[in-house]
Structure 1
Amino acid sequence: MRNLKIVKNAYSIMTVCLILVGAILLFWPQMGLDMICKIYGIFLVIYGIAKLSGYFARDLFQLAFQFDLALGIASLIFGFVMIFRTGYAIEFLAGLIGVFMLIDAVFKIQTAIEANRFGIERWWMILVIALIVAIIGVLLLIQPFRATGVITRLIGLNLCLDGILNLYVVQSTVKTIRRDHDWDI
Protein backbone atom coordinates (compact mmCIF):
# COMPACT_ATOMS: atom_id res chain seq x y z
CA MET A 1 0.00 0.00 0.00
CA ARG A 2 2.89 2.34 0.72
CA ASN A 3 4.20 1.76 -2.81
CA LEU A 4 0.84 2.83 -4.25
CA LYS A 5 0.92 6.06 -2.22
CA ILE A 6 4.42 6.81 -3.50
CA VAL A 7 3.34 6.18 -7.09
CA LYS A 8 0.18 8.26 -6.58
CA ASN A 9 2.22 11.16 -5.21
CA ALA A 10 4.84 10.90 -7.98
CA TYR A 11 2.08 10.74 -10.59
CA SER A 12 0.46 13.83 -9.06
CA ILE A 13 3.76 15.73 -9.12
CA MET A 14 4.32 14.77 -12.77
CA THR A 15 0.81 15.91 -13.59
CA VAL A 16 1.43 19.28 -11.94
CA CYS A 17 4.57 19.53 -14.13
CA LEU A 18 2.37 18.85 -17.18
CA ILE A 19 0.12 21.73 -16.14
CA LEU A 20 3.17 24.00 -15.70
CA VAL A 21 4.57 23.07 -19.15
CA GLY A 22 1.13 23.80 -20.61
CA ALA A 23 0.95 27.16 -18.82
CA ILE A 24 4.38 28.13 -20.16
CA LEU A 25 3.27 27.37 -23.71
CA LEU A 26 -0.08 29.08 -23.18
CA PHE A 27 1.38 32.32 -21.83
CA TRP A 28 4.76 32.37 -23.68
CA PRO A 29 4.04 30.96 -27.15
CA GLN A 30 7.00 32.82 -28.64
CA MET A 31 9.42 30.20 -27.28
CA GLY A 32 11.34 28.55 -30.07
CA LEU A 33 9.72 25.39 -31.39
CA ASP A 34 13.05 23.58 -31.17
CA MET A 35 13.21 24.33 -27.45
CA ILE A 36 9.56 23.35 -27.02
CA CYS A 37 10.22 19.99 -28.71
CA LYS A 38 13.20 19.22 -26.52
CA ILE A 39 11.46 20.29 -23.29
CA TYR A 40 8.32 18.39 -24.18
CA GLY A 41 10.36 15.37 -25.28
CA ILE A 42 12.18 15.24 -21.93
CA PHE A 43 8.88 15.66 -20.15
CA LEU A 44 7.32 12.82 -22.17
CA VAL A 45 10.18 10.47 -21.28
CA ILE A 46 9.78 11.25 -17.57
CA TYR A 47 5.98 11.11 -17.89
CA GLY A 48 6.26 7.73 -19.65
CA ILE A 49 8.34 6.36 -16.81
CA ALA A 50 5.76 7.65 -14.30
CA LYS A 51 2.93 6.08 -16.32
CA LEU A 52 4.74 2.72 -16.40
CA SER A 53 5.32 2.95 -12.64
CA GLY A 54 1.62 3.63 -12.14
CA TYR A 55 0.64 0.65 -14.24
CA PHE A 56 2.71 -1.70 -12.12
CA ALA A 57 1.45 -0.24 -8.80
CA ARG A 58 -1.17 -2.10 -6.78
CA ASP A 59 -4.36 -0.05 -7.03
CA LEU A 60 -7.57 -1.48 -5.55
CA PHE A 61 -9.90 -0.28 -8.34
CA GLN A 62 -7.33 -0.32 -11.19
CA LEU A 63 -9.05 2.71 -12.72
CA ALA A 64 -6.52 5.52 -12.85
CA PHE A 65 -3.62 3.39 -14.09
CA GLN A 66 -5.42 0.83 -16.26
CA PHE A 67 -4.13 2.19 -19.59
CA ASP A 68 -0.76 3.41 -18.37
CA LEU A 69 1.28 0.58 -19.90
CA ALA A 70 0.30 1.62 -23.43
CA LEU A 71 0.41 5.35 -22.65
CA GLY A 72 3.77 4.96 -20.90
CA ILE A 73 5.31 3.23 -23.90
CA ALA A 74 3.73 5.76 -26.29
CA SER A 75 5.06 8.62 -24.13
CA LEU A 76 8.58 7.18 -24.23
CA ILE A 77 8.47 6.74 -28.03
CA PHE A 78 7.08 10.25 -28.65
CA GLY A 79 9.54 11.70 -26.15
CA PHE A 80 12.59 10.13 -27.79
CA VAL A 81 11.38 11.22 -31.25
CA MET A 82 11.00 14.79 -30.01
CA ILE A 83 14.44 14.80 -28.38
CA PHE A 84 16.51 13.08 -31.05
CA ARG A 85 14.57 13.96 -34.21
CA THR A 86 13.67 17.54 -33.30
CA GLY A 87 13.66 18.87 -36.86
CA TYR A 88 11.26 16.14 -37.90
CA ALA A 89 9.17 16.53 -34.76
CA ILE A 90 8.73 20.30 -35.15
CA GLU A 91 6.95 19.68 -38.42
CA PHE A 92 4.51 17.33 -36.75
CA LEU A 93 4.51 18.74 -33.21
CA ALA A 94 0.89 19.84 -33.11
CA GLY A 95 -0.29 16.64 -34.76
CA LEU A 96 1.74 14.42 -32.41
CA ILE A 97 0.46 16.20 -29.35
CA GLY A 98 -3.08 16.20 -30.77
CA VAL A 99 -3.00 12.45 -31.36
CA PHE A 100 -1.50 11.76 -27.94
CA MET A 101 -4.06 13.95 -26.16
CA LEU A 102 -6.92 12.49 -28.19
CA ILE A 103 -5.89 8.95 -27.23
CA ASP A 104 -5.51 9.96 -23.58
CA ALA A 105 -8.94 11.67 -23.67
CA VAL A 106 -10.59 8.55 -25.10
CA PHE A 107 -9.06 6.46 -22.32
CA LYS A 108 -10.26 9.00 -19.74
CA ILE A 109 -13.78 8.84 -21.19
CA GLN A 110 -13.66 5.11 -20.56
CA THR A 111 -12.32 5.79 -17.05
CA ALA A 112 -15.28 8.14 -16.44
CA ILE A 113 -17.71 5.41 -17.49
CA GLU A 114 -15.98 2.90 -15.20
CA ALA A 115 -15.90 5.43 -12.34
CA ASN A 116 -19.67 5.84 -12.74
CA ARG A 117 -20.08 2.06 -12.45
CA PHE A 118 -18.01 2.11 -9.24
CA GLY A 119 -20.28 4.84 -7.87
CA ILE A 120 -17.66 7.59 -7.80
CA GLU A 121 -19.73 10.70 -7.28
CA ARG A 122 -18.07 13.17 -9.64
CA TRP A 123 -17.39 10.81 -12.56
CA TRP A 124 -19.05 13.32 -14.88
CA MET A 125 -16.24 15.85 -14.24
CA ILE A 126 -13.78 13.36 -15.70
CA LEU A 127 -16.08 12.95 -18.70
CA VAL A 128 -16.54 16.69 -19.33
CA ILE A 129 -12.83 17.54 -19.11
CA ALA A 130 -11.95 14.50 -21.25
CA LEU A 131 -14.37 15.68 -23.94
CA ILE A 132 -12.82 19.17 -23.92
CA VAL A 133 -9.32 17.65 -24.15
CA ALA A 134 -10.53 15.50 -27.06
CA ILE A 135 -11.94 18.51 -28.93
CA ILE A 136 -8.69 20.45 -28.53
CA GLY A 137 -6.76 17.32 -29.54
CA VAL A 138 -8.79 17.17 -32.76
CA LEU A 139 -8.11 20.88 -33.39
CA LEU A 140 -4.38 20.24 -32.99
CA LEU A 141 -4.64 17.29 -35.34
CA ILE A 142 -6.46 19.10 -38.16
CA GLN A 143 -4.74 22.45 -37.45
CA PRO A 144 -7.38 24.87 -38.72
CA PHE A 145 -5.15 27.68 -37.44
CA ARG A 146 -1.77 27.96 -39.16
CA ALA A 147 -0.31 30.69 -36.95
CA THR A 148 2.44 29.26 -34.75
CA GLY A 149 1.35 31.31 -31.74
CA VAL A 150 -2.22 30.00 -31.94
CA ILE A 151 -1.06 26.40 -32.30
CA THR A 152 1.39 26.80 -29.41
CA ARG A 153 -1.36 28.27 -27.23
CA LEU A 154 -3.70 25.41 -28.15
CA ILE A 155 -0.96 22.95 -27.20
CA GLY A 156 -0.51 24.76 -23.87
CA LEU A 157 -4.25 24.83 -23.18
CA ASN A 158 -4.54 21.16 -24.01
CA LEU A 159 -1.61 20.23 -21.75
CA CYS A 160 -3.10 22.25 -18.88
CA LEU A 161 -6.52 20.64 -19.28
CA ASP A 162 -5.05 17.16 -19.66
CA GLY A 163 -2.94 17.73 -16.55
CA ILE A 164 -5.97 18.87 -14.56
CA LEU A 165 -7.87 15.84 -15.83
CA ASN A 166 -5.08 13.42 -14.88
CA LEU A 167 -4.69 15.01 -11.45
CA TYR A 168 -8.41 14.80 -10.79
CA VAL A 169 -8.59 11.17 -11.94
CA VAL A 170 -5.67 10.02 -9.81
CA GLN A 171 -6.85 11.93 -6.74
CA SER A 172 -10.46 10.76 -7.00
CA THR A 173 -10.09 7.14 -8.13
CA VAL A 174 -6.88 5.70 -6.66
CA LYS A 175 -7.79 3.97 -3.43
CA THR A 176 -5.88 1.75 -1.04
CA ILE A 177 -7.14 -0.25 1.89
CA ARG A 178 -5.66 0.49 5.29
CA ARG A 179 -4.98 -2.40 7.62
CA ASP A 180 -8.21 -1.62 9.48
CA HIS A 181 -10.06 -1.69 6.12
CA ASP A 182 -11.04 2.00 6.07
CA TRP A 183 -10.67 3.79 2.74
CA ASP A 184 -7.51 5.86 2.44
CA ILE A 185 -7.32 8.30 -0.40
Structure 2
Amino acid sequence: MEVKILKKIRMARDGYVLISIIFYIVGIVCMTIPSISPLVLCITGGIILVAYGIVKIIGYLSDDLYDLAFQYDLACGIFLIVLGVIVLGCNLRIRSYLSPGLGLLILLDAVLKVQTAKDAKVFGLEIWKWILTLSIIVATFGILIIIKPFQESQISHVIIGCGFFAKGLMNHLTVKETVKIAKQIQGQEKNEEDTDWEE
Protein backbone atom coordinates (compact mmCIF):
# COMPACT_ATOMS: atom_id res chain seq x y z
CA MET A 1 0.00 0.00 0.00
CA GLU A 2 1.30 3.43 -0.86
CA VAL A 3 2.46 5.76 1.89
CA LYS A 4 -0.14 8.39 0.99
CA ILE A 5 -2.97 5.90 1.31
CA LEU A 6 -1.66 4.72 4.67
CA LYS A 7 -1.51 8.32 5.88
CA LYS A 8 -5.09 8.95 4.75
CA ILE A 9 -6.34 5.83 6.50
CA ARG A 10 -4.41 6.72 9.66
CA MET A 11 -5.82 10.26 9.57
CA ALA A 12 -9.37 8.95 9.15
CA ARG A 13 -8.93 6.39 11.91
CA ASP A 14 -7.42 8.91 14.34
CA GLY A 15 -10.16 11.40 13.48
CA TYR A 16 -12.82 8.83 14.32
CA VAL A 17 -11.10 8.00 17.59
CA LEU A 18 -10.98 11.72 18.48
CA ILE A 19 -14.66 12.17 17.67
CA SER A 20 -15.44 9.08 19.74
CA ILE A 21 -13.60 10.60 22.71
CA ILE A 22 -15.64 13.79 22.24
CA PHE A 23 -18.82 11.70 22.34
CA TYR A 24 -17.58 10.10 25.57
CA ILE A 25 -17.07 13.55 27.08
CA VAL A 26 -20.44 14.87 25.85
CA GLY A 27 -22.15 11.78 27.23
CA ILE A 28 -20.55 12.17 30.66
CA VAL A 29 -21.33 15.90 30.74
CA CYS A 30 -24.99 15.29 29.84
CA MET A 31 -25.27 12.69 32.60
CA THR A 32 -23.56 14.75 35.29
CA ILE A 33 -24.37 18.39 34.40
CA PRO A 34 -27.98 18.51 33.12
CA SER A 35 -28.39 22.29 33.62
CA ILE A 36 -26.23 23.38 30.67
CA SER A 37 -27.33 26.51 28.80
CA PRO A 38 -29.35 25.72 25.63
CA LEU A 39 -27.21 28.22 23.70
CA VAL A 40 -24.04 26.40 24.73
CA LEU A 41 -25.61 23.11 23.73
CA CYS A 42 -26.58 24.45 20.29
CA ILE A 43 -23.16 25.95 19.56
CA THR A 44 -21.29 22.90 20.86
CA GLY A 45 -23.62 20.56 18.99
CA GLY A 46 -23.17 22.48 15.74
CA ILE A 47 -19.38 22.42 15.97
CA ILE A 48 -19.34 18.68 16.76
CA LEU A 49 -21.65 17.95 13.83
CA VAL A 50 -19.44 19.85 11.39
CA ALA A 51 -16.27 18.19 12.74
CA TYR A 52 -17.91 14.76 12.62
CA GLY A 53 -19.00 15.38 9.03
CA ILE A 54 -15.47 16.34 7.98
CA VAL A 55 -14.03 13.22 9.63
CA LYS A 56 -16.61 11.05 7.85
CA ILE A 57 -15.71 12.50 4.45
CA ILE A 58 -12.00 11.99 5.14
CA GLY A 59 -12.81 8.40 6.09
CA TYR A 60 -14.74 7.80 2.89
CA LEU A 61 -11.83 9.11 0.81
CA SER A 62 -9.21 7.09 2.70
CA ASP A 63 -9.22 4.01 0.40
CA ASP A 64 -9.59 1.55 3.27
CA LEU A 65 -9.11 -2.01 2.00
CA TYR A 66 -12.53 -3.49 2.83
CA ASP A 67 -14.32 -0.16 3.34
CA LEU A 68 -16.22 -1.41 6.39
CA ALA A 69 -15.92 1.55 8.74
CA PHE A 70 -16.32 4.28 6.13
CA GLN A 71 -18.60 2.83 3.47
CA TYR A 72 -21.58 5.19 4.06
CA ASP A 73 -19.61 8.21 5.13
CA LEU A 74 -19.72 10.48 2.08
CA ALA A 75 -23.45 11.18 2.17
CA CYS A 76 -23.52 11.12 5.98
CA GLY A 77 -20.57 13.50 6.15
CA ILE A 78 -22.17 16.05 3.82
CA PHE A 79 -25.44 15.77 5.71
CA LEU A 80 -23.73 16.31 9.08
CA ILE A 81 -21.85 19.38 7.86
CA VAL A 82 -25.02 20.97 6.47
CA LEU A 83 -26.92 20.13 9.66
CA GLY A 84 -24.12 21.52 11.80
CA VAL A 85 -24.12 24.80 9.89
CA ILE A 86 -27.90 25.03 10.31
CA VAL A 87 -27.61 24.42 14.05
CA LEU A 88 -24.89 27.06 14.37
CA GLY A 89 -26.85 29.56 12.28
CA CYS A 90 -30.24 29.12 13.92
CA ASN A 91 -29.10 28.44 17.49
CA LEU A 92 -31.98 28.85 19.94
CA ARG A 93 -34.66 28.94 17.24
CA ILE A 94 -34.30 25.20 16.78
CA ARG A 95 -33.47 24.19 20.35
CA SER A 96 -36.82 22.39 20.75
CA TYR A 97 -35.83 20.16 17.83
CA LEU A 98 -32.23 19.58 18.95
CA SER A 99 -32.88 16.63 21.24
CA PRO A 100 -35.07 14.57 18.84
CA GLY A 101 -32.74 15.54 15.97
CA LEU A 102 -29.71 14.20 17.82
CA GLY A 103 -31.69 11.09 18.69
CA LEU A 104 -32.45 10.59 15.01
CA LEU A 105 -28.74 10.93 14.13
CA ILE A 106 -27.80 8.40 16.81
CA LEU A 107 -30.46 6.01 15.51
CA LEU A 108 -29.33 6.44 11.89
CA ASP A 109 -25.69 5.77 12.77
CA ALA A 110 -26.70 2.67 14.72
CA VAL A 111 -28.76 1.30 11.81
CA LEU A 112 -25.84 1.82 9.41
CA LYS A 113 -23.55 -0.01 11.82
CA VAL A 114 -25.90 -3.00 11.67
CA GLN A 115 -25.06 -3.21 7.97
CA THR A 116 -21.37 -2.81 8.84
CA ALA A 117 -21.65 -5.74 11.26
CA LYS A 118 -23.25 -7.86 8.53
CA ASP A 119 -20.44 -6.99 6.08
CA ALA A 120 -17.80 -7.67 8.74
CA LYS A 121 -19.30 -11.13 9.26
CA VAL A 122 -19.03 -11.81 5.51
CA PHE A 123 -15.33 -10.91 5.67
CA GLY A 124 -14.88 -13.31 8.60
CA LEU A 125 -14.16 -10.65 11.24
CA GLU A 126 -15.23 -11.91 14.67
CA ILE A 127 -15.74 -8.34 15.86
CA TRP A 128 -19.07 -8.23 13.98
CA LYS A 129 -20.87 -9.61 17.05
CA TRP A 130 -19.77 -6.70 19.22
CA ILE A 131 -20.55 -4.15 16.51
CA LEU A 132 -24.06 -5.60 16.16
CA THR A 133 -24.63 -5.66 19.92
CA LEU A 134 -23.52 -2.05 20.32
CA SER A 135 -25.62 -1.02 17.33
CA ILE A 136 -28.74 -2.43 18.96
CA ILE A 137 -27.93 -0.69 22.26
CA VAL A 138 -27.24 2.64 20.52
CA ALA A 139 -30.41 2.32 18.43
CA THR A 140 -32.42 1.78 21.62
CA PHE A 141 -31.02 4.95 23.16
CA GLY A 142 -31.67 6.83 19.91
CA ILE A 143 -35.33 5.80 19.95
CA LEU A 144 -35.69 6.80 23.61
CA ILE A 145 -34.15 10.22 22.90
CA ILE A 146 -36.58 10.77 20.01
CA ILE A 147 -39.76 9.81 21.84
CA LYS A 148 -38.60 11.42 25.13
CA PRO A 149 -40.68 9.18 27.44
CA PHE A 150 -39.34 10.94 30.54
CA GLN A 151 -39.67 14.49 29.18
CA GLU A 152 -37.36 16.97 30.96
CA SER A 153 -36.56 14.84 34.01
CA GLN A 154 -33.09 13.89 35.18
CA ILE A 155 -33.57 10.46 33.59
CA SER A 156 -33.96 12.13 30.18
CA HIS A 157 -30.50 13.70 30.46
CA VAL A 158 -29.04 10.38 31.58
CA ILE A 159 -30.53 8.66 28.52
CA ILE A 160 -29.08 11.31 26.19
CA GLY A 161 -25.70 11.00 27.88
CA CYS A 162 -25.76 7.20 27.67
CA GLY A 163 -26.73 7.47 23.99
CA PHE A 164 -23.73 9.64 23.17
CA PHE A 165 -21.37 7.52 25.24
CA ALA A 166 -22.58 4.30 23.60
CA LYS A 167 -22.34 5.89 20.15
CA GLY A 168 -18.76 6.90 20.85
CA LEU A 169 -17.94 3.36 21.97
CA MET A 170 -19.61 1.88 18.88
CA ASN A 171 -17.67 4.13 16.49
CA HIS A 172 -14.41 3.67 18.39
CA LEU A 173 -14.66 -0.11 18.34
CA THR A 174 -15.73 -0.27 14.68
CA VAL A 175 -12.92 1.91 13.38
CA LYS A 176 -10.19 0.59 15.66
CA GLU A 177 -10.86 -3.06 14.88
CA THR A 178 -12.01 -3.16 11.25
CA VAL A 179 -9.45 -0.68 9.90
CA LYS A 180 -6.54 -2.28 11.77
CA ILE A 181 -7.48 -5.80 10.67
CA ALA A 182 -7.95 -4.72 7.06
CA LYS A 183 -4.44 -3.25 7.00
CA GLN A 184 -2.95 -6.43 8.47
CA ILE A 185 -4.74 -8.62 5.93
CA GLN A 186 -3.55 -6.47 3.05
CA GLY A 187 0.01 -6.70 4.36
CA GLN A 188 -0.28 -10.49 4.47
CA GLU A 189 -1.67 -10.59 0.93
CA LYS A 190 1.15 -8.37 -0.30
CA ASN A 191 3.74 -10.66 1.29
CA GLU A 192 2.10 -13.69 -0.34
CA GLU A 193 2.18 -11.98 -3.76
CA ASP A 194 5.86 -11.14 -3.30
CA THR A 195 6.61 -14.75 -2.37
CA ASP A 196 4.76 -16.08 -5.42
CA TRP A 197 6.65 -13.69 -7.67
CA GLU A 198 10.02 -14.72 -6.27
CA GLU A 199 9.21 -18.38 -6.82
Quote the offset at 1:4 in angstroms.
Answer: 1.1
| Residue identity in the other structure for 2:109 | D
Tell me the SS of whatever aligns to 1:6.
helix
Could you tell me which residue of structure 2 aligns to residue 11 of structure 1?
16
Quote the offset at 1:150 in angstroms.
Answer: 3.2
Equivalent residue pairs, number: 182
Tell me the SS of whatever aligns to 1:85.
helix
When normalised by structure 1's length, the TM-score is 0.91
Quote the offset at 1:38 in angstroms.
Answer: 1.0
| Structure 2: gaps (5+ residues) | 1-5, 192-199
| Residue identity in the other structure for 1:181 | K
Alpha-carbon contact 1:15-1:164 (below 8 Å) kept: yes
Change beyond 3 A, Cα 1:180–1:124:
closer
| Residue identity in the other structure for 1:61 | Y
Alpha-carbon contact 1:81-1:89 (below 8 Å) kept: no
Could you tell me which residue of structure 2 aligns to residue 105 of structure 1?
110
Quote the offset at 1:9 in angstroms.
Answer: 1.4
Tell me the SS of whatever aligns to 2:64.
coil
Could you tell me which residue of structure 2 aligns to residue 90 of structure 1?
95
Deviations 1:9-64 (A, max 9, x none): 12211221121122111211111122111111111111111111101111001000
Give aligned-pair identity as a percent: 32
| Structure 1: gaps (5+ residues) | none
When normalised by structure 2's length, the TM-score is 0.85
Which is higher, the Rg of structure 1 or of structure 2? 2
More displaced 10-residue stretch of structure 1: 53-62 or 143-152: 143-152
Does the alignment pair 1:77 with 2:82?
yes
Deviations 1:92-128 (A, max 9, x none): 1111011111110100011011111111112111111
Report the structure, 1 or 2, having the larger helix content: 2
Could you tell me which residue of structure 2 aligns to residue 171 of structure 1?
176
Change beyond 3 A, Cα 1:90–1:150:
farther
1:56 to 61, 73, 80: 61
